[in-house]
Amino acid sequence: MPKPDRPKPDRAETDSAKFDVDLFVIGGGSGGVRAARIAAGYGARVMVAEEYRMGGTCVIRGCVPKKLFVIGSHIRHEIEDAAGFGWTIPPVTFDWPTLVANKDKEIARLEAIYTANVEKSGAEIVKTRAVIEDAHTVRLTDGRPLKARYILIATGSTPSHGPRIPGLDHVISSDQAFHLQELPKRIVIQGGGYIALEFACIFAGFGSDVTVIYRGDNVLRGFDEDVRLHVRKEMERQGITILTGCTVDKVDRDGKIFTAHLSNGSSIAADKVMFAIGRHPNIGGLGLEKAGVVLNPHNGGIAVDGFSRTSVPNIYAIGDVTHRVNLTPVAIREGHAFADHVFGKRPVQVDHSNIPTAVFSQPEVGTVGLTEAEARAQFSHVDIYKTDFRPIKSTMSGRDTRILMKLVVDATTDRVVGCHVVGDTAAEIIQAVAIAVRMKATKADFDATFALHPTAAEELVTMRTPTARYGREAAE
């Protein structure tokens, strides 16, 4: 009589003894933390290695402290505007060390929350550097090797300084800007992207004399052309000097004074020189080459597929280290999708289209969808609705500022494919508009929506006549 078949053990159970953990996450930023928590929720044994502070770039030295500085610097505008509304405010003083100290307290509070949330999920945190040795092995700073079924790289990005120039050691990055001992009276900032402009407006708001140096023809490359022009004009109205078509070629130091020598032959003396010319993937010393992880030749980030899988099947990468879309919410969504796919057994991919974006300059920028140029390249017929107006507040305050609102419409389908706003609370407005754009709302849907009066945002549903129309014959 044949013996009955014995039930076969689950493969995961038989493999379990081979690995110390099911998932090893390198990087305790927003993306890595989300992936760790979701994976742990599926029952995975998870370990997170973070060599610096939990929270990553966004919480520790990026979005959060920067937004706190933006809010603080904007108070100066509010004080100036108050007189038009009948307020008499005695002379006020500002203390930079107090701002920095209070910012540090808030960042420490958020870091503690990140740490607690990971630990509550059942994942373990190790405060150490981790280097990949092979497809399943990472080595910690203490020399201890660990075997992991899956490895997730979520190490983010780091500031770029560009070509090595004389005096580069005298230059600070956005990382150091959060910890300056005193507010610089004069600062030169090289860069024309969102980080450079945000810090330019922050320092100007606190009273610094600010000069922005950018190699291109105008700031905010990649944004809608009208947005670029409007932001520059508004910043210059605030007294910020913007010099385009040149670069900083050399920085000299004489005591506490720094001199930035420009490619156009001129020079500028300042108390600080800051470079904000972009960020690059934080991949140095991770052991990627040894493990066989391939980089993307086009952007220098880790090459991944739609599921965030690298060239090594069990090694994944998410967030800024892939250099796809370097935004915190994107890293979080990618981390969540990774955990759902690998440990939840659901084939989830992240859709990187129609991602709302904000620039916390002053004025603020909010944008979602296509620029006018992108839409005209993609669609045969495009309608543009644009308005530029003085906000109600400035009619009383006397501030010389204007708001820009722009809708980009695929005229063939009437679908709103892009929205761009420059002005106070632009980011708050765009977050709601992004829902409509993602749901493929038409211009008729916008027109049928009641205006909320009196607001600036009501212009988005009251613009009825196109300011420009573009059409081209389809290629035969």
- CA torsion 215-220-226-229 (nearest 10°) is -50
CATH class, range 17-159+280-342: alpha beta
Cβ-based neighbours of 298, under 8 Å, separated by 6 or more: none
Q: Do domains 17-159+280-342 and 168-277 have the same CATH topology?
A: yes
From first to last of its 476 residues, the chain has per-residue pLDDT tens of: 444 343 343 344 446 678 999 999 999 999 999 999 999 999 999 999 999 999 988 989 899 999 999 999 999 999 999 999 999 999 999 999 999 999 999 999 999 999 999 999 999 999 999 999 999 999 998 888 999 999 999 999 999 888 899 999 999 999 999 999 999 999 999 999 999 999 999 999 999 999 999 999 999 999 999 999 999 999 999 999 999 999 999 999 999 999 999 999 999 999 999 999 999 999 999 999 999 999 999 999 999 999 999 999 999 999 999 999 999 999 999 999 999 999 999 999 999 999 999 999 999 999 999 999 999 999 999 999 999 999 999 999 989 999 999 999 999 999 999 999 999 999 999 999 999 999 999 999 999 999 999 999 999 999 999 999 999 865 44
Report which of 153, 155, 158, 156 is spatially closest to residue 311, judged by C-alpha positions. Answer: 153
Q: Which helix (H) or strand (E) holds 392?
A: helix 392-397
Which run of H or E residues covers position 375? Answer: helix 372-378
> 213 forms bridges with which residues in the sheet?
190, 243
Write down the pLDDT at residue 163.
87
CA distance 194 to 359: 6
Q: What integer pLDDT is reported at residue 476 of this predicted model?
A: 40
What pLDDT shows up at residue 142? 86
pLDDT at residue 15, rounded to an integer: 63
Nearest to 383 by CA among 415, 341, 361, 411: 411
At 238, which amino acid appears?
A: Q
Domain boundaries, the chain: 17-159+280-342, 168-277, 357-469
Q: Please state, in angstroms and rounded to a whole number, the distance separating the CA atoms of residues 272 and 213.
A: 13
Choosing from 74, 170, 179, 453, the catalytic residue is: 453
Provide CB contacts within 8 A for 453, sequence distance 6+: none
Instruction: Out of 3.30.70.260, 3.50.50.60, 2.30.42.10, 3.40.50.2300, select the CATH number for domain 168-277.
Output: 3.50.50.60
Active site residue 77: no
CATH code of the domain occupying 357-469: 3.30.390.30
Strands of 6-118, DSSP E: 21-26, 46-49
Sign of CA dihedral 102, 107, 108, 112: positive
The pLDDT value given to residue 472:
81
Name the residue among 141, 344, 324 with its Cα closest to residue 334.
324
Report CA torsion sign: 288, 289, 293, 294.
positive
Give the pLDDT of residue 86.
96
Closest to 244 (Cα-Cα) out of 226, 231, 257, 259: 231
